[in-house]
């Protein structure tokens, strides 16, 4: 038995969306970043300022959701990369948060749009870029369209240090069989980010256990009930991941109204790192 090291803890900008306030909505018809929207209020911190704040809270791994980037200009991306380096914060993943490469009509357009964001991940020096495998119902045709597009994106990124991953998310990858089908046909060219919060129901834990032996990253999302961590659910998820052989980082996902963001993240972190697994 051993405890999970704090070095394996990461934070997603999604978990701090109230702190950041602004988002920059995606338009899949253009590579331009949309105008700022105060989606979650005025916010208290910019993305450029976040690395130092994150480090001051004891976190040194970050995942950035693409809609938190206010520009794709190389100068801005260079500034963000510098701030990450100065704060000693590792950019674990750029989460490319739009597109449907399984769509029969718009799939090619969305594939090209995603390819542009993979370039951004490379410019930022990210370890990974997460791509949505698709949002269509999991027919064989839709899964095969996704495989073809993911293979093409991997080929376009060949030679890059950025590892491409996808996630058990949306209808296309709504159950283990679909995840395994996709990954088997990709033959290691795309990795898996397993998310605790995307699946539910009576088979949730068995389903997650089925895929976590293949996971390279994890979105460790917890539920809070009246501000209190649902320890039974969170503990079951962490335990099944470890028992499945998962060795990667745990990215804390927090989106409850209470407690506050930093308090909620600390509660999740302390729960994970204090467990004997």
CA atoms within 13 A on the CB side of 6: 10
Q: How confident is the model at residue 1 (pLDDT cuts 50, 70, 90)?
A: low
The model's confidence at residue 276, banded by pLDDT at 50, 70 and 90, is confident
Q: Considering the chain, what percentage of its residues have pLDDT values greater than 90?
A: 97
Q: pLDDT per residue over 156-197, tens digit each?
A: 999 999 999 999 999 999 999 999 999 999 999 999 999 999
Residue with tokens 């895929």: 211
Q: Is residue 137 pLDDT above 70, yes or no?
A: yes
pTM for the complete prediction? 0.97
Which range, of 13-17, 199-203, 241-245, 258-262, averages the lowest pLDDT? 258-262
Q: Give 78's pLDDT tier (boundaries 50, 70, 90).
A: very high
Q: What is the pLDDT of residue 258?
A: 87
Question: What mean pLDDT, rounded, does the chain reach?
Answer: 97
Sign for the CA dihedral angle at 181, 240, 128, 259 comes to positive
Query: 3-state secondary structure string, the chain?
Result: CCECCHHHEEEEHHHHHHHHCCECCCCCCCCCCCCCECECECCCCCCCCHHHHHHHCCCCEEEEEHHHCCCCCHHHHHHHHHHHHHHCCEEEEEECCCCCCCCCCCHHHHHHHHHHHHHHHHHHCCCEEECCCCCCCCCHHHHHHHHHHHHHHHHHCCCCCCEEEEECCCHHHCCHHHHHHHHHHHCCCCEEEEECCCCCCCCHHHHHHHHHCCEEEEEEECCEECCEECHHHHHHHHHHHHHCCCCCCEEEECCCCCCCHHHHHHHHHHHHHCCEC
103 has a pLDDT exceeding 70: yes
Check whether 277 has a pLDDT greater than 80.
no
Instruction: Give the per-residue pLDDT at 275.
Output: 85
């Amino acid at each position: 038995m051993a405890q999970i090291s704090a070095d394996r803890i990461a934070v997603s900008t999604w978990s701090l969306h109230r702190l950041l306030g602004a988002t920059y909505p995606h338009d899949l018809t253009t590579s331009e970043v949309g105008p700022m929207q105060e989606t979650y209020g005025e916010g208290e911190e910019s993305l450029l300022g976040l690395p130092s704040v994150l480090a001051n809270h004891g976190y040194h791994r970050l995942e950035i959701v693409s809609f938190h980037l206010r520009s794709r200009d190389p100068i801005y991306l260079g500034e963000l990369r510098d701030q990450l380096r100065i704060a000693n914060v590792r950019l674990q993943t750029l989460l490319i948060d739009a597109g449907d490469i399984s769509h029969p009509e718009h799939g090619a357009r969305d594939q090209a749009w995603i390819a542009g964001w993979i370039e951004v991940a490379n410019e930022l020096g990210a370890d990974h870029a997460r791509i949505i495998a698709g949002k269509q119902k999991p027919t064989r045709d839709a899964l095969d369209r996704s495989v073809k597009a993911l293979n093409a994106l991997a080929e376009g990124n060949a030679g890059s240090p950025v590892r491409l991953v996808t996630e058990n998310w949306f209808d296309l990858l709504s159950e283990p069989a679909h995840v395994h089908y996709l990954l088997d046909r990709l033959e290691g060219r795309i990795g898996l980010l397993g998310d605790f919060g995307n699946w539910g129901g009576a088979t949730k834990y068995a389903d997650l256990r089925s895929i976590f032996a293949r996971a390279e990253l994890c979105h460790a999302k917890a539920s809070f009930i009246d501000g209190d961590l649902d320890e039974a659910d969170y503990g079951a998820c962490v335990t099944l991941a470890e028992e499945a052989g998962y060795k990667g980082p745990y990215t804390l996902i927090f989106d409850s109204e209470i407690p506050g963001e930093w308090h909620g993240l600390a509660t999740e972190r302390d729960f994970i790192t204090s467990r004997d697994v």
